[in-house]
Structure 1
Amino acid sequence: MAIEERPVGPWFWEGNELFDAHRELIATVRSDVIFFRSERLLVESEPGPIQFRARATTGDGRVFTLAQNGFTVGTLHADCAGRAYVLRRTSVWRKERNIYDAAGGVVARVRPLISGRVELHAGPTYDDLPPIDAVFLSWGCVLVDSPVRRPRV
């Protein structure tokens, strides 16, 4: 399966590795660097009690950001090299989020599980979500929403 195609099932983070539905490795995170294809994204994050922010920079200088603008992490705002997204929890009782693009379409849904696994499901407008954005945004959700603490490998 080519990574640009609509996934047949969810992608999922297990620990610091992102797999597709066939358990083929898509991306890994090591020492705060996301390795995706030939890309390297250096991630800086502030998971503090007051404010969550994550920023990733590629080798060629593209910047990806994810941050809360309010008092809670219920809604996060992202900019992936100029592409805007809003990541909104589906309920105040759950950590599951819908990812909306600038046009308001749901490109994906991120679902953290109690096991620590975090799933990324394609939304109705998934074809508008570049794979590198999907990797960064889903990793950001791992940082802010996963019930299992991420090891710094």
Structure 2
Amino acid sequence: MAWGDRDDRAGIFEERSDGPWTWTGNRLLDPADRVLASVSSDVIYFGADRLLIESDPGPIRFRARATTGDGRVFTMAQAGFTVGVLEADCDGRSYQLRRTSIWRKEREIVGDNGVVAWIRPLISGRVAMYPGPARDDLPVVDAVFLSWGCVLVDSPVRHPRV
């Protein structure tokens, strides 16, 4: 499914989807390996949208911020002393990104009505995004920003492309 086929909801979360969306390097691929978004020089490109990304993966505190061309702001930061819980605000929509176990980097993304998605970093460096029960509450732009934030904070291997 292409980005423009639905209003503003993430197409990955259709019941007929064959699998997750996956960040491979700096490209977000759908289950059919079509490029849905890409990152280059701290800008996320998807469709007609652009998000300028600023992040601070410092040793003490993780923060990320994105701004769209029309001025919408997206933020993500750790909620406590560790990155076990991240809090995000996507243009006024709040999310918590919580690790599901102290032993793994898998996260559930929780919105106002429950879990909208799960993020699972893989040993290969790829990061997969799976639908949650409240998947219809997740706009595409939020899905792209939140999943890329998880790549920045949780991915064991990064393969940047310029």
Is residue 86–residue 97 contact of structure 2 (8 Å, CA) maintained in 1?
yes
Partner of 1:11: 21
Aligned sequence identity (%): 68
Query: What TM-score do you get using the length of structure 1 for normalisation?
Result: 0.96
Is residue 25–residue 161 contact of structure 2 (8 Å, CA) maintained in 1?
no
Distance 2:91 2:77 in 1: 14
Instruction: Give runs of ≥4 in structure 1 deviating > 4 Å.
Output: none
Compute the displacement of 1:152 (Å).
6.4
Note the aligned Cα RMSD (angstroms): 1.1
Unaligned runs of 5+ in 1: none
Is residue 90–residue 98 contact of structure 1 (8 Å, CA) maintained in 2?
yes
| Local SS of the residue matching 1:106 | strand
Is residue 143–residue 150 contact of structure 1 (8 Å, CA) maintained in 2?
no
Greater shift, 79-88 or 143-152, is seen at 143-152
Partner of 2:133: 124
| Local SS of the residue matching 2:38 | strand
Structure 1 segment 3-152 matched on structure 2, within 5 A = 3=3, 4=6, 5=11, 6-7=13-14, 8=17, 9-103=19-113, 105-151=114-160
Query: What TM-score do you get using the length of structure 2 for normalisation?
Result: 0.90
| Local SS of the residue matching 1:136 | helix
Amino acid of the structure 1 residue aligned with 2:119: V
| Local SS of the residue matching 2:149 | helix
Amino acid of the structure 1 residue aligned with 2:48: S
Is residue 107–residue 128 contact of structure 1 (8 Å, CA) maintained in 2?
yes
Unaligned runs of 5+ in 2: none
| Local SS of the residue matching 2:125 | coil
Distance 1:12 1:85 in 2: 20
